[in-house]
């Protein structure tokens, strides 16, 4: 057979896949040998038998073999003639406590260096593995961190001799916890006979692999015990699961039953797809067909409408649309929603007559997404962005996973393309990038908007995306709403899109500022899912580029009793390490306040400086560990350190200021007041920090009707708040101004049907900002008194007086507004009306009633409250 590949072509990593000459290349491999040593000491067949085996492997559509001893260049030359690459293990005494033997470690480094020097630059070499299955007890005994350092040293040794050679370390489930970040790709030997469990475990391994390719180093089935037909079925399932779950390839163990180890041929197992005489088993026929490249697409997969929303995205739009036109999927359409672009987006769209182009005035991302869903004609709506490039099998893998997991929504990974410049790669290695959040290995809490899909009916029934999210935050909101409604969000680990990162520091800063403003809107809508600093509280684990540099506490590892667990699983969590606060905006504000206190006690300036130095140290530490590789220019890590420093400040500042800007009590609380009702059974009373209301009703109405009316009136009147928290001990939480918020609690007493007595209590609570300011003023006054600096005491007293006046004004305004709101809600819901009011009013029935009240009150500001209002 003639040479199939040019000698200058090398296999490379690109995201979660391998490439050859810029085309995706999947490992379709066999473990090969060891065989009885021949005359030259090689654990390989004689040359003629070797050529016969390689030709047969090529006829099975195999393209790679794995050998466990350093081969000669002869093997690589012969393999390359048949289009086959070679994966080589570095042999060393890894099953011993090698840290007790300096000579053993030195020999391992020497063998790795010699192998890389002799073969590492040969185009027939696929990759070098510097270790295979170091036993779990050896790793635990010697410390996994020390072992990882030594494995990293082996990897560096190989790279020094052969910079273009791919490197990895081969682990197995018992040492799942042992991963080395410097590997070019992640490799595990996995033997799981159950197809469903194998697929689920591959998803788990994909999260461990992150943005690197995942390779199965060994997989096989012993036909001596299970039979040849069972072996064929299991290998067919393995190939299918590897394809569906985005594995970059696998090595079948083994090519032949002939296997030599421990100084003898093994005859008590038969893992080969060929017998010792090279006659084929049924498994060989299965692999030949599955590896033929003729992928079978399930005809039962649903039709999909792919929606791309773009605003001035002309620089990347054409590449995006080209990739969508090349999708390998039988039933799909592409919809481009142009959200008021002023660049050349329309001209680019005209180059693709196959797509459905829709232009609208600029209304924001959420409206554009909703328009796409409404235009869609297929059962599923999939979304990607104009700065993304999809892989050809993206849609197939997304829909296969959606059907297999039986979910209403699903997403997949988004990865920085290798063509991005170094600034973009620095941005990818910095915090704040879009990422997926996983509740377990397959179910997600959040999937980014650049790679997500929904059942169209479910999305429209949810009301679509919230139009208030014009730039970002729409994906977080819709995911939380799906989960709150009892639906599930799946994750397709193999459905990858390339997502370009911001190419300039200015663009990155603008993006993070927008994210901060969007987070302020998310806080208003989902306050129960946010912490005191306004950051999202994720129940799941953050993965992808968004997890880069997160200051999480150490993972927990299940080892089993005495470390004998076959699957020693890693349990990741989202618990932040205590020092993570040093990278937040709040930390910098406290440091600034301490510096201000240094005017009273000069030594405090050292504390402020120390606080900022702690932040700098953490940023530098994060930059040093950033996954940039050794080829990164010198300025990349200083840039990443700067981005780590500035990102929390930018995002936190815009989140906080936008939160304060839109947090306000409606200016005309009188608009909530209902017409005069002569009904002494209604009372609303305002006291110092609470508002009390009650209704003595004789028509069976109660708190549920009143609360529905209150929520509708509050939303239409401009109140922000938490109206749907099922985990709180209050019914509704209204966010007031900068100083106060209000919680509403209700109860209905049964006094003999249909008479019911309904109570409402609205309690005023100081906001976190109000409390912080009060504490800051108190500390200032105490320090000023101790230091006997009268100017400081005077300044503090002025601040205290200003604070008191502001909070008192806020108290009166908030209580007046909520009193009007409550009385109006009671009237709209019929609690203060005549007894013949419809007692079956539901939340939907109240909508037109509320609308009529809003229109009525908009035309008049001279209304009296229902019942009697007492202000004290």
Q: Could you tell me if 251 and 302 are in contact, meaning their C-beta atoms sit under 8 angstroms apart?
A: no
Phi then psi for residue 516, to 5 deg, are -65, -45
Residues of the chain with CATH 3.90.550.10: 304-547
Q: Could you tell me if 201 and 194 are in contact, meaning their C-beta atoms sit under 8 angstroms apart?
A: no
Cα 675 to Cα 667, 678, 837, 861, 865: the distances in Å are 19, 10, 16, 11, 6
pLDDT score of 673: 44
Tell me which residues of the chain have a pLDDT lower than 70: 1-8, 295, 532-534, 544-565, 568-579, 666-682, 725-727, 833-872
- Superfamily for the 11-290 domain: Glycosidases (3.20.20.80)
pLDDT score of 594: 92
Residues of the chain with CATH 3.20.20.80: 11-290
Angle at 590 between CA 589 and CA 593, to 5 degrees: 90
The dihedral through the CA atoms of 304, 494, 352, 316 has a sign that is positive
Q: How many residues does the chain have?
A: 872
Identify the CA nearest to 108 among candidates 118, 93, 119, 97: 93
Identify the CA nearest to 692 among candidates 683, 701, 700: 683
> What residues contact residue 577 under an 8 Å CB cut-off, 6+ apart?
551, 552, 553
Q: For residue 64, is it left (φ>0), alpha (ψ between -120 and 50) or beta?
A: beta
DSSP bridge partners of 750: 756
**C-alpha span between 358 and 356 (Å, rounded):** 7
**C-alpha span between 97 and 216 (Å, rounded):** 26
For 304-547, the fitting CATH number among 3.90.550.10, 3.20.20.70, 1.10.260.40, 3.30.70.330 is 3.90.550.10
> What residues contact residue 594 under an 8 Å CB cut-off, 6+ apart?
604, 607, 608, 611
pLDDT score of 575: 57
Phi then psi for residue 287, to 5 deg, are -65, -40
pLDDT score of 1: 33
Phi then psi for residue 735, to 5 deg, are -90, 115
472-503: b (≥16 Cβ within 10 Å) or e: bbbbbbbbbbbbeeebbbbbbbbbbbbbbbbb
Half-sphere exposure of 856 (CA within 13 A, CB side): 14
**C-alpha span between 48 and 693 (Å, rounded):** 96
> What residues contact residue 520 under an 8 Å CB cut-off, 6+ apart?
534, 654, 655, 656, 658, 659, 662
Identify the CA nearest to 691 among candidates 790, 824, 572: 824
**C-alpha span between 640 and 624 (Å, rounded):** 9
Before 754, cis peptide (omega within 30)? yes
Grouping H, G, I as helix, E, B as strand and the rest as coil, residue 306 is strand
pLDDT score of 833: 64
pLDDT score of 627: 81
Q: Could you tell me if 175 and 94 are in contact, meaning their C-beta atoms sit under 8 angstroms apart?
A: no
The secondary structure of residue 704, as a DSSP letter, is: H
The dihedral through the CA atoms of 661, 663, 667, 671 has a sign that is positive
Tens-digit pLDDT profile for residues 758-796: 899 999 998 888 888 999 999 999 988 888 888 989 999
**Computed over its alpha carbons, how large is the radius of gyration of the chain?**
33
Cα 13 to Cα 211, 214, 496: the distances in Å are 10, 11, 14
Q: How far is CA 598 from the centre of its chain?
A: 42
- Using a 10 angstrom Cβ sphere, with 0-12 exposed, 13-18 middle and 19 or more buried, the burial of residue 627 is middle
Identify the CA nearest to 243 among candidates 439, 447, 391: 391
The secondary structure of residue 92, as a DSSP letter, is: -
**C-alpha span between 350 and 417 (Å, rounded):** 26
Q: Could you tell me if 382 and 302 are in contact, meaning their C-beta atoms sit under 8 angstroms apart?
A: no
**C-alpha span between 710 and 869 (Å, rounded):** 17
Q: Structure pTM? A: 0.79
Angle at 169 between CA 166 and CA 171, to 5 degrees: 145
DSSP bridge partners of 868: 683
Identify the CA nearest to 733 among candidates 707, 758, 757, 759: 707
As a three-state string, the secondary structure of 260-300 is EECCEECCCCCCCCECCCCCECHHHHHHHHHCCCCCCCCCC
**C-alpha span between 719 and 635 (Å, rounded):** 48
Q: Could you tell me if 35 and 255 are in contact, meaning their C-beta atoms sit under 8 angstroms apart?
A: no
Cα 389 to Cα 35, 320, 347, 757: the distances in Å are 45, 5, 19, 61
Q: Element (H or E) spanning 206, and its range?
A: helix 195-209
DSSP bridge partners of 338: 310, 359
**C-alpha span between 684 and 682 (Å, rounded):** 7
Angle at 448 between CA 446 and CA 449, to 5 degrees: 125
The secondary structure of residue 253, as a DSSP letter, is: S
pLDDT score of 558: 67
């Amino acid at each position: 057979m003639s040479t199939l590949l040019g000698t200058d072509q090398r296999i490379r990593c690109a995201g979660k896949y391998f490439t050859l000459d810029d085309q995706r290349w999947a490992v379709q491999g066999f473990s090969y040998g060891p065989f009885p040593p021949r005359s030259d000491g090689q654990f390989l067949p004689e040359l003629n038998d070797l050529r016969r085996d390689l030709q047969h492997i090529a006829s099975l559509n195999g393209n790679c073999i794995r050998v466990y001893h350093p081969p000669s260049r002869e093997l690589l030359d012969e393999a390359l003639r048949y289009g086959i690459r070679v994966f080589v293990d570095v042999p060393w005494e890894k099953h011993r406590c090698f840290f007790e033997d300096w000579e053993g470690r030195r020999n391992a480094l020497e063998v790795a260096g010699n192998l890389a020097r002799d073969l590492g630059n040969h185009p027939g070499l696929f990759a070098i593995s510097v270790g295979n299955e170091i036993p779990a007890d050896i790793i635990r005994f010697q410390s996994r961190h020390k072992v990882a350092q030594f494995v990293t040293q082996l990897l560096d040794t190989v790279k020094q001799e052969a910079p273009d050679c791919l490197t990895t370390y081969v682990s197995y489930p018992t040492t799942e916890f042992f991963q080395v970040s410097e590997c070019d790709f992640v490799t595990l030997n996995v033997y799981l006979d159950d197809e469903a469990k194998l697929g689920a475990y591959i998803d788990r391994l994909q999260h461990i692999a992150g943005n690197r390719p995942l390779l199965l180093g060994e997989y096989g089935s012993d036909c001596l015990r299970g039979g040849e037909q069972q072996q064929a079925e299991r290998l067919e399932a393995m190939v299918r699961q590897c394809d569906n779950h985005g594995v970059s390839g696998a090595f079948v163990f083994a090519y032949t039953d002939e296997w030599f180890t421990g100084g003898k041929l093994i005859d008590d197992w038969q893992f080969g797809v060929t017998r010792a005489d090279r006659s084929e088993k049924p498994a060989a026929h299965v692999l030949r067909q599955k590896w033929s490249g003729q992928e079978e697409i399930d005809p039962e997969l649903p039709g999909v409408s792919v929606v791309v929303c773009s605003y001035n995205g002309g620089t990347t739009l054409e590449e995006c649309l080209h990739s969508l036109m090349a999708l390998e999927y039988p039933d799909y359409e592409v919809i481009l929603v142009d959200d008021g672009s002023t660049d050349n987006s329309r001209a680019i769209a005209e180059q693709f007559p196959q797509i459905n182009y829709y232009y609208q005035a600029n209304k924001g991302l959420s409206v554009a997404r909703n328009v796409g869903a409404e235009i869609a004609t297929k059962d599923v709506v999939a979304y990607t962005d104009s700065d993304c490039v999809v892989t050809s099998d993206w849609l197939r893998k997304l829909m296969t996973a959606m059907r297999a997991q039986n979910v209403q929504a699903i997403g997949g990974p988004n990865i920085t393309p290798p063509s991005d410049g170094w600034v973009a790669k620095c941005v990818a290695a910095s915090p704040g990038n879009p990422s997926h959040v996983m509740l377990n290995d397959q179910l997600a809490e959040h999937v980014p908007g650049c790679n997500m899909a929904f059942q169209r009916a479910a999305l429209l029934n949810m009301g679509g995306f919230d139009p208030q999210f014009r730039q970002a935050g729409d994906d977080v909101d819709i995911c939380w709403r799906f989960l709150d409604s009892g639906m599930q969000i799946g994750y397709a680990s193999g459905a990858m899109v390339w997502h370009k990162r911001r190419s300039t520091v200015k663009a990155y800063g603008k993006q993070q500022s927008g994210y901060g403003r969007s987070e302020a809107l998310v806080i208003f809508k989902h306050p129960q899912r946010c912490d005191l600093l306004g950051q999202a509280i994720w129940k799941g684990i953050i993965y992808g580029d968004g997890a880069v540099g997160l200051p999480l506490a150490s993972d927990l590892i299940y080892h089993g009793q005495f470390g004998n667990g076959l699957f020693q699983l890693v349990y990741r969590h989202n618990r932040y390490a205590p020092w993570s606060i040093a990278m937040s905006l709040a930390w910098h504000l406290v440091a600034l306040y301490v510096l201000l206190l240094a005017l009273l006690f000069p030594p405090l300036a050292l504390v402020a400086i120390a606080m900022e130095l702690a932040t700098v140290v953490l940023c530098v530490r994060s930059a040093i560990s950033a996954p940039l590789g050794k080829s990164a220019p010198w300025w990349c890590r200083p840039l990443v350190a700067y981005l780590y420093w500035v990102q929390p400040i930018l995002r936190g500042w815009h989140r906080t200021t936008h939160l304060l800007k839109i947090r306000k009590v409606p200016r005309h609380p009188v608009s909530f007041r209902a017409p005069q009702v002569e009904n002494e059974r209604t009372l609303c009373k305002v006291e110092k920090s609470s508002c009390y209301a009650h209704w003595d009703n004789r028509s069976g109405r109660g708190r549920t009707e009143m609360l529905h009316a209150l929520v509708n009136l509050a939303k239409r009147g401009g109140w922000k708040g938490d109206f749907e928290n099922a985990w709180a001990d209050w019914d509704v939480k209204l966010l007031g101004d900068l100083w106060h918020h209000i919680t509403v609690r209700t109860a209905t007493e049964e006094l003999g049907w249909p008479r019911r007595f309904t109570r409402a209590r609205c309690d005023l609570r100081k906001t976190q900002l109000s409390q912080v300011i009060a504490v800051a003023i108190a500390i200032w006054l105490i320090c000023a008194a101790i230091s006997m600096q009268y100017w400081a005491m005077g300044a503090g007293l002025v601040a205290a007086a200003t604070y008191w006046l502001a909070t008192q004004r806020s108290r009166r305004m908030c209580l007046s507004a909520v009193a009007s709101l409550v009385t109006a809600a009671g009237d709209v819901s019929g609690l203060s009306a005549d007894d013949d009011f419809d007692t079956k009013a539901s939340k939907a029935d109240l909508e037109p009633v509320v609308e009529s009240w809003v229109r009525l009150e908009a035309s008049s500001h001279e209304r009296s409250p229902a019942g009697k209002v007492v202000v004290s």
